[in-house]
Structure 1
Amino acid sequence: MEEVLSGGNMTSVVKVRDTVRRASGPWTPAVHALLGHLRRRGFDRAPEALGVDERGRENISLLPGSVATYPLPEHVLSDRTLVAVAELLREYHDATADFVPPTGAHWQWPSHEPVEVLCHNDFAPYNLMFEGDRLTGVIDFDTASPGPRVWDLAYTAYRFVPLTDPANPDVPYPGIAEQRRRLELFVRSYGFAITPADVVEVAIRRLRELVDFIVTQARNGDEAQQKVLDRGDTLIYERDIAYLEANTWS
């Protein structure tokens, strides 16, 4: 018996007993090698890779809890959750620092320099598991690729601080002073030689790359990205970029 799970905006995701199945791709062997490495390093808040099933779908273990979806519950934007997210991201990054990708590893998303860790690239509410108001795990490693720590911090801060324009329809606007305070708390909780200004600078680059990706993929016939383009997501990102550029964050 298969049960369609919520989320899975890009691909269909189904539950089969205590496992999750979704379409595999050329990146799946590298992602599964990463998941295996995480387990060996004692990081158990990510799924366990179980290979592929008889239909060629990726097969991974089912984590307890559920992801946060928009509009976000109040607890997802609390200081407590912000600190927990920063600490989990640091724990994940540290566990990947000595990961050696398999020969010929293929990643779905591009790598970025300097390579320090295996970036998740989408460490956002819709990929984090919660049991009640407690953060318990992270899923969806399909877009993982080598890169600097700050590349992940930038997008995660964008989603959780949040680093958004007052008109962003997804989250309430907390005000610039509160954004600066929460950004500093997030960076401090991660605990590395990265500044709030570093995070915002990279967030601007990250959002620009995301806009380019959506537009390019839609032009190339990607139906999922065409839907994203049609609903106006790139306009939201571009407005948020302008807001980040117009303010100071140091």
Structure 2
Amino acid sequence: MALVEEILTGGNMTSVVKVGDTVRRAAGPWTPSVHALLDHLRRRGFDRAPEALGLDEQGREVISLLPGAAAHYPLPAHVLSDRTLIAVAELLRDYHEATADFRPPDDAVWQLPAHEPVEVLCHNDFAPYNLMFEGDRLSGVIDFDTVSPGPRVWDLAYTAYRFVPLTDPDNHDVPYPGLAEQRRRLTLFVAAYGMDEITPGQVAATAVLRLREMVEFIVTRAGNGDPAQQRVLELGHHLLYERDIAYLEANRLAD
């Protein structure tokens, strides 16, 4: 009897299907390294990420299905609440702690470049559309395809960009909270992560670097024929990110 495949919505980079209690999608050169990390997370007791289950007969990666649903734009109000902001910071800290002693395979391949200093395995896309919610409660994190070694603040920066959010008033993805509220929520987010050596100012400055690298990634990959990034370019997402970069550079969000 053939397995029933249900296309899951929200994945704009690769086709993702649900088969029973598993999720399947195209594997890449980085998949063995990602699965090694997922195995490590399980051994460390971090159970809010999928379990790696190998490859299927079509060569697709197979991972376990987490309960709940990811958040997508326009975001529900609870995703931008202080409660969720704190929970996201705490989950990111727990994830980082679980990766701190991970030793990648000697032949590890990552889709995104590593950054120095290497402190953890950055998720690199710890954003609403990759976080699972059961009702209004944060329950897990998915989509580890873009993980790579790097500093904690690199992950904090992109997550703050999405959840504070650190966006220009004309970014229509999320309501603009105002500069004072961005400062307050950025401070709250960094405090909830809980490392004194990481400051709101460092996170805001790193967000600029992270967004610049993302724009370069989109433009370069689109130019090399990547259909997913060509679609992103056609939609003008890179222009939105460039506007947010200019906003962050023009406004001091933290001392």
TM-score when normalising by structure 1: 0.99
What SS does the aligned partner of 1:164 have?
A: coil
**Partners in 1 of 2:111 and 2:223 — Cα distance?**
18
Q: In the alignment, what sits opposite 1:236?
A: 240
Q: In the alignment, what sits opposite 2:230?
A: 226
**Partners in 1 of 2:194 and 2:9 — Cα distance?**
33
Per-residue CA shift, 1:85-112, capped at 9, x if unaligned? Answer: 0000000000000000011100011000
Q: Which amino acid aligns with 1:150?
A: V
What SS does the aligned partner of 2:116 have?
A: coil
What SS does the aligned partner of 1:203 have?
A: helix
1:73-112 alignment runs, 5 A limit: 73-112=76-115
**C-alpha displacement of 1:223:** 1.0
Question: Structure 2: any 5+ residue segments left out of the alignment?
Answer: none
Q: Which amino acid aligns with 1:239?
A: R
Q: Which amino acid aligns with 1:203?
A: A
**Partners in 2 of 1:182 and 1:12 — Cα distance?**
34
Please give the root-mean-square deviation of Cα atoms over the aligned residues, in Å. Answer: 0.4
- 1:9 paired to 2:20: no
Query: Equivalent pairs: percent with the same residue?
Result: 78
**C-alpha displacement of 1:177:** 0.2
Which segment drifts farther, 3-12 or 86-95? 3-12
**C-alpha displacement of 1:155:** 0.1
- 1:116 paired to 2:108: no
**Partners in 1 of 2:220 and 2:28 — Cα distance?**
20
Per-residue CA shift, 1:162-204, capped at 9, x if unaligned? Answer: 0000000100000000000000000000001200110011100
Q: In the alignment, what sits opposite 1:179?
A: 182
- Matched residues, number: 250
What SS does the aligned partner of 1:113 have?
A: coil
**C-alpha displacement of 1:8:** 1.5
What SS does the aligned partner of 1:177 have?
A: helix
1:1-250 alignment runs, 5 A limit: 1-192=4-195, 193-248=197-252, 249-250=254-255
Q: Which amino acid aligns with 1:206?
A: R
- Flag as ranges the 4+ runs of structure 1 deviating above 6 A: none
**C-alpha displacement of 1:214:** 0.3
TM-score when normalising by structure 2: 0.97
**Partners in 2 of 1:222 and 1:97 — Cα distance?**
32
